[in-house]
């Protein structure tokens, strides 16, 4: 019996997984192979190797990467039909051996324990891996207070950004009086470069549902919402299916496992407002109002949805819960540091060789993630730093690469852990432009309710835009620092309070780049087009005339087979000459 499993999360589909599935379906039907099972799964984490296909038989599990429909034919004919695995396309064998073994070597998968191993549309696959055993254990052998104690002893912090202790948060909600309480899963993942929550919902939706059930039992809630942005259609489809399957099996709904505990879940699709990741704005959106934050206290644990006590955790937090109940608080607390227990999932993007989803024990260093797990920087270029915590996070330079992944240690750098987005950059990244990019995002996403965020971030953005255009002024850096601190201390919600972080941290660690832009009208990274001059290397130019033909404004002149030249006054710095040159003769200065 052979099982062919194709990764059909969003990352896989974007790389062509649907066509690979169709090709395997055609081949199986054509050969009449009834002993071959074709299955789909979620994100395996190796997004950089999509499309991923696993072939499993009595000889183990073989994972292939970069699979196309054409490669699928050969995999089917040689591996499935003849039992000969194809070494040149092999990524992993039995999840340990293989050219990409280093990707998993330092990972510890709790949240991602089922992703890539089960069909997310099959509740039976989840049950086969001890699914819903934790809620059964909680209902039959533990009191709500004991569940909360277990969460407290585990040391689990909320993985949505703030890092508040989960056990304490649940305790507050459980102690709030009232017969009606709610549990909310915050799946409004809006950070550029972040895809942790989406991947878990696409790959293992039942773990999130089970985590919500356990929370509901612990705090005395009977209803829950998953607030998921509408831009995650595949996650929503798989979540709807999981809720339906769990309800049909009696694992969700009334009198679960024959007890008097009942719990129902609804999905609320968000319209894509970044500010709705903030708890009170999310609550307003669920209630049908415009998603704007309100002043706290009262906190949601006291007054949440429709004024009722409400507990809100994110996808990753809830996915941890069943594992903790099933394996015990001590097992979770044994991983990590004194301040930060367990593991953390990161969406790795940017200039790393192995981009994708990783789950590592707390306490691992940034350098270990970048070089050991993610295989270093593309093209062998120099590691310059990481943006951590999303657009509201901060930049951590390579000089602090030994910093441990720990809430306290990361906060000391000026960045934040955030929900887990980590974008790596090399020495060709302009830090001023990077700060401008993230501030532009948060400025657009500001709800506009408070003046400091609405106007303050706009003024900061205007200054940054002026600097990258070569129009910076002597006092711009001091003005950015002053505005940033004022916004931090006066903005109403977390979006505004953290929006200046990318600017403040890049000034702190890369002030010289700001000064080069302002004082010398120069971009050291050769990234800001208006601050870059294009010149032709006489030793490399062959006079092929391709660059002259590509130039839209006629700034390049020269005779055929003779060195060409660029008229800087005419050059609009579009870069077409560089991309079209086959001899690397055009360089930025």
- 589 residues of the chain, pLDDT tens digit each: 789 999 999 999 999 999 999 999 999 999 888 889 999 999 999 999 999 999 998 788 999 999 999 999 999 999 999 989 999 999 999 887 888 889 999 999 999 999 999 999 999 999 999 999 999 999 999 999 999 999 999 999 999 877 899 999 999 999 999 999 999 999 998 888 889 999 999 999 999 999 999 999 999 999 999 999 999 999 999 999 999 999 999 999 999 999 999 999 999 999 888 888 889 999 999 999 998 999 889 999 999 999 999 999 999 999 999 999 999 999 999 999 999 999 999 999 999 999 999 999 999 999 999 999 999 999 999 999 999 988 888 999 999 999 999 999 999 999 988 888 899 999 999 999 999 999 999 999 888 888 999 999 999 999 999 999 999 999 999 999 999 999 999 998 888 899 999 999 999 999 999 999 999 999 999 888 888 888 888 889 998 999 989 899 998 988 898 899 888 888 888 888 888 899 988 888 7
Q: What is the pLDDT of residue 533?
A: 84
The helix (run of H) or strand (run of E) holding residue 501 is helix 501-519
Question: In Å, how far are 369, 422, 568 from 354, measured between CA atoms?
Answer: 10, 13, 39
Q: Which residue, 228, 22, 183, 205, is CA-closest to 118?
A: 205
Rounded Cα distance, 293 and 449, in Å: 8
Phi, psi of 55 (to 5 degrees): -115, 120
CA distances from residue 4 to 39, 99, 471 in whole angstroms, order as listed = 6, 21, 58
Per-residue model confidence (pLDDT) at position 381: 95
User: How many whole angstroms separate alpha carbon 110 and alpha carbon 319?
Assistant: 8
Q: Are 488 and 497 in contact (CB under 8 A)?
A: yes
Q: How far is CA 151 from CA 108, 231, 248, 432, 450, in A?
A: 20, 32, 29, 42, 36
Give the separation between CA 169 and CA 187, rounded to whole angstroms.
18
Q: How far apart are CA 370 and CA 348, in angstroms?
A: 9
Number of alpha carbons in the 13 Å side-chain half-sphere of residue 47: 22
Phi and psi for 49 in degrees, rounded to 5? -115, 10
Residues linked to residue 40 through DSSP beta bridges, in sequence order: 6
Q: What is the DSSP secondary structure assignment for residue 517, as one 8-state letter?
A: H
Q: What is the number of helices (H) and of strands (E) in the chain?
A: 24, 18
Q: Calculate the alpha carbon distances from 60 to 55, 197, 212, 223, 477 in Å.
A: 8, 30, 35, 43, 59
Q: Is 431 left (phi over 0), alpha (psi -120 to 50) or beta?
A: alpha
| Distance, CA of 279 to CA of 344 (rounded, Å) | 21
Q: How far is CA 336 from the centre of its chain?
A: 21
Position 520 scores a pLDDT of 92
Give the pLDDT of residue 535: 87
Q: Are 359 and 319 in contact (CB under 8 A)?
A: no
Q: Terminal CA-to-CA distance of the chain, rounded, Å?
A: 61
The continuous run of DSSP H or E covering 486 comes out as helix 476-490
Q: Which residues pair with 36 in a beta bridge?
A: 2
Structure tokens at 352: 């790393």
The answer to whether the beta carbons of residues 425 and 350 sit under 8 Å apart is yes
Distance, in Å, from the CA atom of 251 to the CA atom of 261, rounded to the nearest integer, reads: 11
DSSP 305: G
Furthest-apart CA pair in the chain: how many Å? 88
DSSP string, 373-393: IS-SBGGGPPEEEEEESGGGS
Specify the pLDDT at position 447. Answer: 87
pLDDT at residue 499, rounded to an integer: 92
Beta carbons within 8 Å of 537's beta carbon, 6+ residues apart: 584, 585, 586, 587
Nearest by Cα to 581 from 530, 537, 519: 537
> Cα angle at 192 between 188 and 197, to 5 degrees?
40
């Amino acid at each position: 019996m052979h099982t062919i499993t194709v990764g059909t999360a969003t990352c896989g589909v974007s790389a062509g997984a649907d066509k690979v599935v169709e090709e395997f379906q055609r081949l199986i039907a054509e050969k009449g192979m009834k002993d071959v099972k074709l299955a789909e799964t979620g994100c395996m984490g190796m997004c950089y190797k999509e499309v991923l296909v696993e072939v499993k038989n009595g000889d183990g599990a073989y994972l292939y990467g970069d699979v196309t429909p054409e490669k699928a034919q050969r995999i089917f004919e040689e591996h499935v039909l003849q039992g000969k695995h194809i070494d040149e396309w092999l990524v992993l064998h039995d999840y340990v051996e293989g050219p990409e073994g280093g990707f998993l070597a330092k990972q510890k998968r709790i949240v991602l324990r089922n992703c890539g191993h089960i069909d997310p549309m099959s509740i039976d696959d989840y049950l086969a891996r001890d699914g819903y055993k934790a809620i059964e254990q909680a209902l039959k052998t533990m009191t709500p207070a004991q569940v909360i104690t277990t969460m407290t002893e585990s040391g689990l912090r909320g993985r949505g950004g703030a890092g508040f202790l989960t056990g304490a948060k649940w305790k507050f909600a459980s102690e709030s009086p009232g017969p009606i309480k709610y549990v909310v899963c915050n799946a409004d993942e809006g950070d550029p470069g972040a895809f942790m929550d989406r991947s878990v919902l696409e790959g293992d939706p039942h773990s999130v549902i089970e985590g919500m059930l356990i929370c509901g039992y612990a705090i005395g809630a009977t209803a829950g919402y998953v607030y998921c942005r509408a831009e995650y259609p595949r996650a929503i489809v798989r979540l709807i299916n999981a809720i339906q399957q769990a309800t049909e099996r009696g694992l969700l709904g009334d009198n679960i496992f024959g007890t008097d505990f009942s719990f129902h879940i609804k999905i609320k699709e968000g319209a894509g407002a970044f500010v709705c990741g903030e708890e009170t704005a999310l609550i307003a959106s669920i209630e049908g109002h415009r998603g704007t934050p309100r002043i706290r206290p009262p906190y949601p644990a006291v007054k949440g949805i429709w004024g009722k006590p409400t507990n809100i955790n994110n996808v990753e937090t809830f996915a941890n819960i069943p594992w903790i109940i099933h394996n015990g608080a001590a097992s979770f607390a044994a991983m990590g540091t004194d301040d930060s227990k367990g593991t953390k999932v990161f969406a790795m993007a940017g200039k790393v060789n192995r981009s994708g989803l990783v789950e590592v024990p707390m306490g691992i260093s940034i350098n270990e993630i970048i070089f050991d797990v993610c295989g270093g920087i593309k093209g062998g270029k120099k590691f310059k730093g990481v943006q951590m915590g999303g657009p509201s996070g901060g930049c951590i330079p390579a000089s602090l690469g030994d910093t441990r992944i720990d809430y306290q240690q990361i906060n000391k750098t000026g960045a934040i852990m955030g929900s887990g987005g980590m974008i790596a950059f090399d020495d060709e990244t302009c830090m001023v432009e990077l700060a401008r990019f993230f501030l532009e995002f948060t400025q657009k996403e500001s709800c506009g309710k408070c003046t400091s965020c609405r106007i303050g971030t706009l003024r900061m953005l205007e200054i940054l835009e002026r600097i990258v255009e070569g129009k910076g002024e002597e006092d711009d850096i001091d003005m950015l620092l002053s505005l940033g601190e004022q916004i931090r201390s006066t903005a109403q919600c977390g979006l505004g309070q953290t929006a200046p972080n990318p600017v403040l941290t890049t000034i702190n660690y890369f002030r010289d780049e700001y000064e080069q832009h302002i004082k010398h009208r120069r971009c050291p990274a050769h990234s800001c087009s208006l601050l870059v001059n294009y010149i032709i290397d006489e030793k490399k130019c062959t006079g092929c005339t391709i660059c002259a033909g590509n130039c839209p404004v006629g700034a390049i002149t020269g005779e055929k087979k003779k060195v060409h030249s660029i008229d800087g006054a005419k050059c609009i710095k579009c870069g077409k000459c560089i991309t079209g040159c086959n001899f690397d003769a055009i360089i930025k200065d």
